Amino acid sequence: METFKTLFLIMSAAALFSCAAKKSKIITLNYMNPESSPNQLVIMQKIISRFEKTHPGIKINVITGVRTEKIYSTIASGSGLDVFYGYENILDYYERNAIISLNPYIEKFGFNQDEYFPISIQMVSKNHKILGLPIQLKTDCIGYNKTLLEKSGLPLPPLSWHMDEFENYIKKLYAAQKANADKYNKIYPITGIPMPRHIMTPQIIDEISGKLNTSEKIKKELLAKLIQEQRIWSYLPPRTETRELASTAGASGTTAIFSMQRAFLQYAPAWTLIDLGKIRDFDWDVTEGIYWKDNEIVPVSDAYLSIAAISKYPEIAYKFIKFYASQSGAGYFAASKNGMSAHIASTKKFFIAPPANINTYITIVETRKMLNTRPPLKNWIQFQRTFEGTSYGEEFYTGKVSAQKYMEEYYKTSSGILEPFIRE
How far is it, in rounded angstroms, from Cα 135 to Cα 227?
36
C-alpha dist (Å) from residue 104 to 95, 130, 314: 19, 10, 10
28: phi then psi, degrees, rounded to nearest 5: -110, 125
Element (H, E) at 205: strand 205-206
Cα 370 off chain centre by: 15
Written as tens digits, the pLDDT of the chain (424 aa) is: 455 454 444 445 445 444 544 455 899 999 999 987 777 788 889 999 999 999 999 999 999 999 889 999 999 999 999 999 999 999 999 999 999 999 999 999 999 999 999 999 999 999 999 999 999 999 999 999 999 999 999 999 999 999 999 999 999 999 988 766 676 778 999 999 999 999 999 999 999 999 999 999 999 999 999 999 999 999 998 888 888 887 776 656 789 999 999 999 999 999 999 889 999 999 999 999 999 999 999 999 999 999 999 999 999 999 999 999 998 788 887 888 878 999 999 999 988 999 999 999 999 999 999 999 999 999 998 999 899 878 887 899 999 999 999 999 999 999 999 999 998 8
C-alpha dist (Å) from residue 150 to 147, 153, 199, 342, 355: 5, 5, 32, 35, 17
Query: Of 71, 79, 89, 77, which Cα lies nearest the Cα of 34?
Result: 71
pTM for the whole structure: 0.89
Secondary structure of residue 361 in the 3-state scheme: helix
Domains annotated for the chain, with CATH where assigned, are 25-138+301-355 (3.40.190.10), 139-299+371-415 (3.40.190.10)
Query: Of 55, 72, 97, which Cα lies nearest the Cα of 318?
Result: 55
Exposure string for 337-373, b = 16+ CB within 10 A, e = fewer:
bbbbbbbbebbeebbeeebebbbbbbebbeebebbbb
Element (H, E) at 211: strand 211-212
